[in-house]
Each structure stands twice: as structure tokens, then as C-alpha cells.
Amino acid sequence: MTDDDADATRKMQFLFALRSRGVTDSRVLSAMEKVDRGLFVRGLFAERAYEDMPLPIPCGQTISQPSVVGLMTQALEVSPRDKVLEVGTGSGYQAAILSHLARRVYTVDRHRRLVREARAAFDQLGIVNITAFTADGSFGLPDQAPFDRILVTAAAEDPPGPLLAQLKIGGIMVLPVGQSDAVQSLIRVRRHEGGFEYDELRPVRFVPLVEGLARDE
């Protein structure tokens, strides 16, 4: 089997795994086919980049398993004209997928190293519609608000008030909520003229949403 054949087989298996776990939106699947997860996983775990499992990345963080990335992206219902805020850049993998679906992606992380490495990956991929910031994501990005869509990749006890305030009328936010590592739910929040509507989607496990900038770099 040639390298090209192996790559094609691996990609086919990857997409089949996504579909079998409920990722059925054609635009999301197309975006995930275009973004090589292997570029966002380094070191000992690089060879496991195409398995449907979370993997460690620097700064004590993780890259989510692809099926969860796909389900969260699908739940966000991103349209081509949307401006999206991602809280928790991590490896940059999720933002790279969003970049193929939205007009503009803003992503924030409290770890300078992660933002720096994610920017390098975006440059390598030639992605030009992502802006990455080192910032306390729990406060969102007031200067760029409001947002059509907000995706949070760390768990809070409740949806943070500043993020709810930065969501447009008609907008959608997807985030994990829960009071412990063991009990978290992925929820979707829709903002209407009269308030917010909440849907519980599925159980998940994410690192906690922590306030303040990290001091590890």
C-alpha cells in the first residue's frame, strides 16, 4: 500500500467513525476532512492523532476527541457569514475547523504557549480568517462582540454571564457545564428577544474553565 493509499484509507476510516457517532452534517464533515488533526498533535501521541480519543497537549490541556469536536460544531449550526468566538484555543484544531465554516473566527486562550503554537499551525495551513488572542476567555472579547456563535471548550458551572451578553439575538452558544469533572453536560443556548433557551445535548468531560491568565510561560 502506498502512502497515498494509506492516507486515503485513514481519512475514510476517520470520517466513518465520525458518522457512526452522530456527526452527519455534510459541511462539518467536509471541514473535518480538510483539517489534518495530525498537525495539531505532537510528540509521543502523534501516531494516535486519527483515533477517536482525547489526547494530551502542552500546558496540561487536551485536544478533544474528533467525534466530540464534530458534534459540538454541528450543534453550533455555523453559517458562512457568521462571526464566531471560541473560548479555549487549545491546540487550534477546533478553530481550524470553524474557519472553513464561518466568515471570521476569534479564539482566546489563557496559555500564551498554546496561542503561539496554534498561530503557527494556522500559518502552516494558510488559514487567514482566524484571530487568536491570549486572554481570559471567561470574559469573552467585548471589543469584538457581538458574536453570531460562541463555542466554549472548557466546563463552567453555568454559562458565563459575559459570554451570554456577547451573543447576538438569534445567536447560538455551545458549551459544557457541570460542577465536577465527573458530571458535565454539553448544552446549547439560543438567544431570543425575550431571553435564553437551553437544550441539553449529551454528557461530556472537559477541563475546567479557569479565570485569569496562566503563569506557566
Active-site annotation, residues = 64
Q: What is the 3-state secondary structure of 151-200?
A: EECCEECCCCHHHHHCEEEEEEEEEEECCCCCCEEEEEEEEECCEEEEEE
Torsion over CA: 105, 27, 121, 203 (sign) = positive
Q: Where are the beta strands (DSSP E) in the chain?
A: 55-57, 61-63, 83-87, 104-109, 130-134, 147-152, 167-177, 184-192, 195-204
